[in-house]
């Protein structure tokens, strides 16, 4: 026995509208837990934004390339949002699982519900809410030039995600956590607390591993 409990891997999924803080929180999480948390880089057909790093933020591909990959069955799941295609590669899941690390995803609510349905005991969903639409608008505009059409699209998507969030309210098991991001440091503390607590849940720990700890020797 090496003094460690062995447990099943967790898929942590951060969901939330534009400017809810998902990317920053993901970066902070993988920086704090580099040995046991791996970010799943999605593939997208949208163009990179200022500051985004290919291969780190996303794998940026053309729409044709995305569709060809989809035809080849490379995606575990994919969705179209704001007129762009986004998908998670099957290989991201397989590599993460075989490396023994927990995985961290930043995907939309439809993708998250899909994952939860397929891996109900291994998926933890965290929905991040900006404190208000006004705060969201300010954060989006603060990022640089955002045209009115893009802003409207992002608000429409946020409304659709909120509607889905309300719809699953009574459907326990589909959603786990909702955190309001008023202050980034406090929000980070909450999210990391969720990660730490979820890792200690009894249901995740392999029975053999518990038995080794509980074996009483005279």
How far apart are alpha carbons 99 and 102 in whole angstroms?
9
Q: Which residue's CB is nearer to ligand 5GP, number 139 or number 204?
A: 139
Tokens of 65: 């390339």
Q: How far is the CB of 216 from ligand 5GP (least distance, A)?
A: 47
Q: Which residue's CB is nearer to ligand 5GP, number 101 or number 154?
A: 154
Q: What residue has token string 């967790």?
A: 10
Q: How far is the CB of 33 from ligand 5GP (least distance, A)?
A: 20
Q: How far is the CB of 217 from ligand 5GP (least distance, A)?
A: 49
Q: How far is the CB of 123 from ligand 5GP (least distance, A)?
A: 13
Residue number of the CB atom closest to ligand 5GP: 111
Note whether 23 and 48 are within 8 A (CB): no
User: Phi and psi for 161 in degrees, rounded to 5?
Assistant: -70, -40
Which residues contact ligand 5GP by CB under 6 A? Answer: 18, 42, 46, 77, 79, 81, 86-88, 106-108, 111
All residues at 6 or more sequence positions from 152 whose CB lies less than 8 Å from its CB, including other chains: none
Q: Which residue's CB is nearer to ligand 5GP, number 46 or number 137?
A: 46
- Which of 33, 34, 14, 35 is CA-nearest to residue 24? 14
Q: DSSP character for 168? A: T
Note whether 173 and 124 are within 8 A (CB): no
Q: Which residue's CB is nearer to ligand 5GP, number 7 or number 89?
A: 89
Q: How far is the CB of 184 from ligand 5GP (least distance, A)?
A: 18
Q: Which residue's CB is nearer to ligand 5GP, number 46 or number 70?
A: 46
Helix ranges, the chain (H):
22-32, 63-71, 90-99, 109-118, 133-142, 148-167, 184-199, 207-214
Q: How far is the CB of 106 from ligand 5GP (least distance, A)?
A: 5
Q: Which residue's CB is nearer to ligand 5GP, number 7 or number 66?
A: 66
């Amino acid at each position: 026995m090496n003094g460690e409990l062995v447990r099943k891997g967790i898929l942590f999924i951060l969901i939330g509208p534009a400017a809810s803080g998902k990317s920053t929180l993901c970066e902070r999480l993988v920086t704090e837990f580099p040995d046991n948390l791996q970010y799943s880089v999605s593939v997208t057909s949208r163009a990179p934004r200022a500051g985004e790093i290919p291969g780190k933020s996303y794998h940026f591909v053309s729409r044709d390339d995305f569709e060809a990959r989809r035809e080849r069955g490379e995606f575990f799941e994919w969705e179209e949002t704001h007129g762009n295609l986004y998908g998670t590669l099957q290989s991201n899941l397989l590599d993460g699982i075989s490396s023994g690390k927990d995985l961290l995803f930043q995907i939309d609510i439809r993708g998250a519900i899909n994952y939860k349905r397929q891996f109900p005991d291994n998926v933890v969903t965290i929905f991040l809410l900006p404190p208000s639409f006004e705060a969201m608008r300010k954060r989006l505009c603060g990022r640089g030039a955002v045209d009115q059409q893009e802003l409207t699209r992002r608000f429409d998507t946020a409304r659709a995600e909120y509607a889905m969030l309300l719809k699953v309210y009574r459907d326990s098991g589909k959603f786990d956590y909702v955190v309001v991001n008023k202050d980034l440091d406090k929000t980070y503390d909450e999210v990391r607390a969720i990660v730490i607590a979820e890792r200690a849940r009894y249901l995740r720990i392999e029975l053999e591993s518990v038995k080794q700890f509980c074996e009483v020797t005279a």
